[in-house]
Chains A and B, each alone.
Chain A
Amino acid sequence: MAKRHLIIGGGTAGINAIRTIREEDGGASEVVLVSAERPYSRMVLPYYLGRSIAESHVFTATPGKLSRWEVKPHLGRRASALDSGSSTLTLDDGAKIEYDDCLIATGSSAVRPSIAGADGPGVHCFWTLEEARGVIREIKAGSHAVMVGAGFIAFTILNSVLSLGARLTIVEIAPRVLPRMIDAPGAEIVEAWLRRHGVEVLTSVHLTKIERAGERRRLHFMDGNEIAADLVIMATGIKANLGWLDGSGLTVNRGVVVDDHLRSSVPNVYAAGDVAEGRNLVTGMPEVHAIEPTAMEHGRIVGANMAGRDLAYRGSLLMNVVGVCELEMASFGAWDDPTAESFVSIRPERAAYRKLLFTGERLTGGMIIGRSEELWATNDVGMLKGLVQSGVSLGRFKEQLRKNPFDLNTAFVASGTVGSLLPRTILGRGSRAPGRAGASV
């Protein structure tokens, strides 16, 4: 009998797992997909909001593609209970699916603060496609949008909100913006940049309730301040969708704890993406990295292992990139490690900032902020990633970078980074182009 693979979740991790299974086995196994939503890419929702792409552009695995991959989909259904002892999944309609191995890739959900009015009309999250549609329906040119939260998710949609002609105010409970992506001096540059571009930024403010005021909302703050808004967007964090795993028998910490093969504590159950707590490439510590590249790499490793390979994963590299009003910012690895030796070059008047973090002779983290037009400021993001990812010993080039953190090229090239990177692949073989998985496609 053909092996029965069950993929729970149709996001980046799930779809990459399916594609990889088919690359490996060409259709020899049974693949069942349970996904509450039609598979789409969360990463591109901001471009849909900004009207630079049509809604059809967001879908990743269309019905046609799923059928070519010979996937049996259960779309619109949620997983409600996993019995890992009998290898059976129960769906929200009571149906049961038996599997030989399964992947938990149920992703994460937006979290709203527990204050009055946080889930009222006119108050939106922006995480799922359905939530994106809600914002798109309500946002109008000239309207006043208030973004609650100034993290990465908020920043991914700032350009789109502004391009639609809305006036924007950002309110953040922390003392600065992007607390989990850039450091305090970087945040200062970004805040000044936003203000110069007409965005109001309020930090260290504590929202206490949201009231309806006719067609508008009124936001109340602990210091007595009030702000009127036409639309409120909640970007106050996400949490892994793990609740349904209660009683499953899997070891769950901040995510489903996985080994270097992305297997949970139950060997025929894998986890990937936002729900998985796997190895951090730089620190070696178990961590949840709710970012697109981790979901993709996890998914591919799981797909290959489900198809019979024996593939270990080296770990995921934390990385983020976002731009707002032609200011680009990116960070990699352990960019906030207080024990690292850091080399800094900062020119606030040019909105230019670079920080390199060393552990011994290895670069273990980095940050780049610069204007889009200053190619020298932003073109190095890839080399920075390569140095952190490869972990090459920089030897004498470390001193060169101490003198000039902008001169990454010589250190990158002369330390043989390219040579150390070229043999490394995630799957132990070359990658195939998307849409060309397996013999049946």
Chain B
Amino acid sequence: MNVLKILPEKCTGCLRCELACSYVQTGRFEPARSVIRVSPYESLTSYAPYTCPQCAEGWCMTACPVGAIAISPVGAKVVLDDQCVGCKLCTIACPYGTIFYNSDTGKAFKCDLCGGAPACAEACPTAAIVYEEAETADWLGGFAAERAAQLQAVGGG
């Protein structure tokens, strides 16, 4: 299966992935509704995007009381809008923090890998987000820990 692989050293923090994601997911350029989120590290000198790792457990999917989360042909856990009642259980069951509740629609929403052509990866100008065959992994942990340690070494953290 292809996954969204994140190469944080390449991220410039341009936020194009958030714009592209929100546009494809909601029809509007609204980064707040993006399901890939860029966060700053090391006191705003580095950035990295973070999104659903499409985990093997599928905590959101197993928690859903009405079976409203399925696995798509490209291996993404996807919310079935006509089944979702908006109970938010998935948002507290997901330990990755990558499924959200939209109070405008009354539904949960998350990364569905854009059906196999992720807009974030297409929009990324530095190939910090690539969509390729790999095992899902913790792409950011080592990077973020290292940046935090650097910051601490210079007395900023």
Chain B contacts of A42 at CB under 8 A? 65
* Alpha-carbon distance A367/B141, docked complex (angstroms): 24
> Which residues in chain A, 248-303, are within 8 Å of chain B measured between CB atoms?
292-293, 296-297, 300
For the complex, count residues of A whose C-beta is within 8 A of B.
Answer: 66
Task: Decide if B70 touches A396 in the complex (CB within 8 Å).
Answer: no
Does B130 interact with chain A (Cβ within 8 Å)?
no
B95 → chain A, closest Cβ, in Å? 3
> Which residues in chain A, 308-360, are within 8 Å of chain B measured between CB atoms?
319-323, 326, 328, 330, 332
Contact of A422 among B86, B136, B152 (CB under 8 A): B136
Does A128 interact with chain B (Cβ within 8 Å)?
no
From known contacts A414-B144, A426-B62, A434-B70, infer whether A385 and B94 are also in contact, taking CB-CB under 8 Å: yes
From known contacts A41-B65, A293-B89, A414-B41, infer whether A431 and B141 are also in contact, taking CB-CB under 8 Å: no
* Alpha-carbon distance A288/B98, docked complex (angstroms): 29
Chain A contacts of B67 at CB under 8 A? 60, 434-435
From known contacts A300-B62, A413-B140, A431-B57, infer whether A386 and B95 are also in contact, taking CB-CB under 8 Å: yes
Does A375 interact with chain B (Cβ within 8 Å)?
yes
A24 → chain B, closest Cβ, in Å? 15
Task: Decide if A422 touches B56 in the complex (CB within 8 Å).
Answer: yes
Contact of A47 among B85, B92, B99 (CB under 8 A): B85
* Alpha-carbon distance A382/B101, docked complex (angstroms): 11
Contact of B63 among A293, A332, A397, A415 (CB under 8 A): A293
Report B63-78 CB contacts with A as 1/0, cut-off 8 Å: 1111101110000000
B78 → chain A, closest Cβ, in Å? 9
Report B128-148 CB contacts with A as 1/0, cut-off 8 Å: 000000001110111011011
* Alpha-carbon distance A381/B92, docked complex (angstroms): 6
* Alpha-carbon distance A372/B104, docked complex (angstroms): 10
Chain A contacts of B141 at CB under 8 A? 413-419
* Alpha-carbon distance A353/B80, docked complex (angstroms): 32
Task: Decide if A431 touches B85 in the complex (CB within 8 Å).
Answer: no
Interface range for B? 35 or more
> Which residues in chain B, 76-93, are within 8 Å of chain A measured between CB atoms?
83, 85-89, 91-93
Report A406-441 CB contacts with B as 1/0, cut-off 8 Å: 000110111111110110111001111111100000
* Alpha-carbon distance A321/B56, docked complex (angstroms): 24
* Alpha-carbon distance A268/B34, docked complex (angstroms): 49
From known contacts A292-B89, A321-B89, A414-B144, infer whether A382 and B70 are also in contact, taking CB-CB under 8 Å: no
Chain B contacts of A416 at CB under 8 A? 138, 141-142, 145
Does B96 interact with chain A (Cβ within 8 Å)?
yes
Residues of B within 8 A of A (CB): 32, 39, 41, 48, 50, 53, 55-58, 61-67, 69-71, 83, 85-89, 91-101, 103, 106, 136-138, 140-142, 144-145, 147-148, 152, 157
Contacts beyond the supplied A41-B65, A60-B67: 16 A-B pairs with Cβ under 8 Å: A52-B85, A57-B83, A296-B62, A320-B92, A323-B103, A382-B99, A389-B95, A412-B97, A414-B145, A414-B147, A414-B148, A415-B145, A418-B138, A422-B56, A422-B138, A425-B56
